[in-house]
Amino acid sequence: MKEFAAIQDMSQMPIMERLMHGLTVTALGMGITFIVLILLLYSIKLMSFVFKKEDSPTSLVSDPVTPTKALEEEDDEELVAVLIAAVAAATGQSYDKIKVRGYREVGIDLPLWGQAGILETMNREI
């Protein structure tokens, strides 16, 4: 480090010496950054351990199976069939080529103008 303090003008140094000083400064900066990032990682892990939320104990007794499961599965099959038919009608593809990987119900928590926009988009000609 004494070399850096002794030199007032870097233009007087040979090119290799300037390159070595540049690499030294780069390595020093990267090393400090790496150490700070490791300290940050462990401090975040420590904070997540200290402020960990208590989970409620799960019940070992399972809920009794209700006969509505079969009815819900039948409704799901009908819903999938309706979805496939709607996509086939909208795109003009054969229903054999359409696969439903999943679906979810979209909540109607939108204001009226949002619902109107969705309806307008859905009814627009393709």
Would 87 be classed as within a structural domain?
A: yes
What is the extent of the structural domain holding 28? 2-50
Q: How many CA atoms lie within 13 A of 25 on its CB side?
A: 8
pTM equals 0.37
What confidence tens digit (pLDDT) does each residue in 57-78 have?
555 555 555 555 555 666 778 8
Lowest mean pLDDT among 13-22, 56-65, 95-104: 56-65
Count of H-run helices and E-run strands, the chain: 4, 0
Residue 82 sits in the same domain as residue 44: no
Residue 38 sits in the same domain as residue 72: no
Would 9 be classed as within a structural domain?
A: yes
Would 59 be classed as within a structural domain?
A: no
Count of the separate structural domains present in the chain = 2
Would 104 be classed as within a structural domain?
A: yes
Is-contact 3 10, C-beta < 8 A?
no
Would 108 be classed as within a structural domain?
A: yes
Residue 114 sits in the same domain as residue 72: yes
Residue 30 sits in the same domain as residue 72: no
